[in-house]
Amino acid sequence: MTLKALFAASATAALLLATSASAAELTVGFSQIGSESGWRAAETSVSKSEAAKRKINLKIADAQQKQENQIKAIRSFIAQNVDAIFLAPVVASGWDAVLKEAKEAKIPVVLLDRDIDPSGKDLYLTAVTSDSVHEGEVAGEWLAKTVGGKACNVVELQGTVGASVATNRKKGFDAVIAKNANLKVVRSQTGDFTRAKGKEVMESFIKAENGGKSICAVYAHNDDMMVGAIQAMKEAGLKPGKDILTVSIDAVPDIFKAISAGEANATVELTPNMAGPAFDAIVAFKEKGTVPPKWIQTESKLYTAADDPQKVYDSKKGLGY
């Protein structure tokens, strides 16, 4: 539903752009968190290319994971009187004051990738984020469909304990598992979102589950852990993708390499393109006064071997993952 709406919106926006882009060149300031992960780097580079596509002048400020740098950047964007401010907030709280300043300057703010505390709800135009519960559901549904009615023991590689993304991706996946009596999560441990820990945890799962023979599928909260888990399975003499099904989230380039080699089955994309929908919303708002919904959910697209993984890999490789 929402997806369709989104597509429709972006289609019209694209149309609009084609006709009126040259009329008013927009300047957008983007306060990016920093280079905390490959995904973040990809988000930055996609933002640049999306801006170029629309002939929008994008100014990116790298905050090096510090809120005070982000606040400074926003203030300087306000001073430069940009047309809009994008903010990927490093933490959820402490934004009210600076966002009020932006509001008073009549500069719309769009949150990217992460939301802030409800107290700031009125201070930004819209938030473009992915729904991590939904990502977990997409992963779960793929697994349920692929397994069919067969009994299947799943092992889960969780993200960092306490991280909201990990909690939500678990929640969405568990909801689907609960609806399918044949699916059962037999082991669940944290792999801290890293390859090394994913590998180590998978090694122990294999040993604890009868040399991996009683494991039917692995679900990892991110692709990096899955890449590590795939190595662990191979070293244990198992065939990932065949003996054990894999599904993970993020859609980083390396998982496509594994999918194309037949060593991984599916990944759910956390799109690095948050800026695209945000640009569209801003253009529509500026030119036609269209107020976007408070939350623009990005698509959580599922990729499998059927989606020409090698091609996706090639297209994603250069994004900085």
Please report, as ranges, the residues that interact with another protein according to CB under 8 A.
35-38, 40-41, 158, 161, 187-190, 192-196, 199-201, 203-205, 207-208, 224, 227-228, 231, 235-237, 254, 320-321
Residue 224 or 280: the one with the smaller Cβ distance to another protein is 224
When the beta carbons of 179 and 234 are compared against another protein, the nearer one is: 234
- Find the shortest distance in angstroms from Cβ 18 to another protein: 34
For residue 231, the minimal CB distance to another protein (Å) is: 7
Least spacing, CB of residue 310 vs another protein, in Å: 16
User: Closest distance between another protein and the C-beta of residue 223, in Å?
Assistant: 10
Kindly state the smallest distance separating residue 121's Cβ from another protein, in Å: 31
Between 138 and 216, whose beta carbon lies closer to another protein?
216
- Of 56 and 229, which CB lies nearer to another protein in the complex structure? 229
Nearer residue to another protein within complex by CB, 253 or 277:
253
The distance of closest approach from Cβ of residue 193 to another protein in the complex, given in angstroms and rounded to an integer, is: 8
Residue number with CB closer to another protein (133 or 163)? 163
Beta carbon of residue 165, minimum distance to another protein (angstroms, whole number): 15
Of the two residues 140 and 212, which places its CB atom closer to another protein in the complex?
Answer: 212
- For the chain, what is the HEC assignment? CHHHHHHHHHHHHHHHHHHHCCCCCCEEEEEECCCCCHHHHHHHHHHHHHHHHCCCEEEEEECCCCHHHHHHHHHHHHHCCCCEEEECCCCCCCCHHHHHHHHHCCCCEEEECCCCCHHHHHHCCEEEECCHHHHHHHHHHHHHHHHCCCCEEEEEEECCCCCHHHHHHHHHHHHHHHHCCCEEEEEEEECCCCHHHHHHHHHHHHHHCHHHCCCCEEEECCHHHHHHHHHHHHHCCCCECCCEEEEEEECCHHHHHHHHCCCCCEEEECCCCCHHHHHHHHHHHHHHCCCCCCEEECCCCEEEHHHCHHHHHHHHHCCCC
